[in-house]
Structure 1
Amino acid sequence: MVPAGATSDLGLAAPYFLKWDDAEYGLRAGRTGYTVRTLPGFAVHHPTWATKGTSSSWSSWPLHRNRIATAAAYGGGRGVLADSFVHQVKHVLSLQYATAELWNAALAEALDGPGWLDDDLTSVRPRAQALLDDAPQTPVVALPTPSARPAAGGTPVPARKAALRAVVGLVRPAATGGGSSVAALAGPSAFGWTDGLGRDAVVFDDGSAPLVRDPRRARRALARILLLHARAAVRWGALRRAYARALPASSSIEAWRGRFDA
């Protein structure tokens, strides 16, 4: 609930597609002197977060890009890049290659500066979906049939051993025989990154596409992760200034009127 007249002071929402526009508006309100409160006892009915498919669908691209842009605009330190880097390594080691590639595209776009704010609303979804559609084919491995799949979660792997196997898995050829390490889960919404750590595959009982270890794809993603985060660390000061200047103009009433007229 926004006080009457607030948009005259604050402007309208940032032209983010789908993600982080609400958080950015709250930050903007707080900086302008509005008090942001959480009202106790209030609740809304909402689909579960898992239904959004945020960690595996095209929406990972705007989610991460808009997060980086907001952090830059509001003076966030390089810690946001360290957090991004750690999560990206987790994506790769847990077989979430599509997510890592979407986040790489997101960071690359954020690094190019805030020009995307002007014409992004109708373009980011098809661009992100095209990246998913053009992704390398999943390696063909001998996955267990539904009747032979391990119990939900598979045999637990000690964390240290799983981490070591995940690192070795960056160079070890993809398993093709019956001795592969497989975890079985009800569906992607039940997946946590440790479920894929040290595995050759993660299969889902709801028929969703399995996650399969692909050393070449993993190494390629990691190389780009290192390059992009190094570039971002060097340019972070300039990016903070650029997004701090661009967001107020792009979220003005005049800017939105121009978008709707176009």
Structure 2
Amino acid sequence: MLRPVLICLLLSLALHAMPASAETTNCTNINSLPVTISTQGVYCLKQNLSTGINAGAAITINTSNVTIDCNDWKIGGLAAGADTDANGVYANARSNITIRNCGIRGFRRGLWFPGSEGGYHLIENNRFDLNTSYGIQTRGDGTTIRGNRVYDTGGSTIVAYAYGIDAWDNADVIDNAVSGVYATPGQNGGAVGIISSSNEGGEVSRNRVSGLIEDGAGSKRGIWANGGRPVIRYNTLISNIAPDANDYGIACNSSAAVARENIIIGYGAPALTINGCTSVDNTINF
């Protein structure tokens, strides 16, 4: 009979031997860009891919019920430069799209899912970096954006502002890290970590936002509830640059939005740290 200590040791060794995430292999391989997907199913990457397009999308999804698992490979668009108007992954008014384990970099929008008549998307465990206007932009009820890393967003020559995550409609934005969102220099643009618009039934929770840099008369907002009544809780927002009167840690367009138990550092006076929301038990360090 195995001793309890030995059983625990064997279980620990077995768990450490397991891969962090299993590779998706039962899938249709995407082997070049740009590509249009018109058939429902599971798609994957088995190598890094890139494209120099400056309009359109690297991957266009023209049907619902599609999963793309990049297996930690990259979709790149850096060759188009700061004036790119291309998207990394695009789906208009589709439903039930899953994007996971992708590195998406160098597009105007890393991911763009317009069309509020679509929805129920899952965007998880991706890395979005060096996109020039938006890391992630979605519309549609029932969408979940979780576990993503959104780094170094901004610098577009087309528009002055930059957003890490922009989620419209009833979406949950959970456990994401947004770091480095910067407005285009010389254009008086703003920088927003996470914006949740028209969200009547979702939450913005356990996200970490830092490194927002506005330009000139522009403003920065760690989290912005633009209409609706989302619950905003357990987030950590840090500003390393002295705020001005237009900057907010958490800003809400309605007191129906509740900001609860967030940690907000470096956004200045209380009126700038949390503005327009119903505020409950937040930790504020000027």
Structure-2-length-normalised TM-score: 0.20
Q: Give the number of the structure whose alpha-carbon radius of gyration is greater.
A: 1
Which structure's residues are more often helix, by fraction?
Answer: 1
Q: Which has the higher strand share?
A: 2
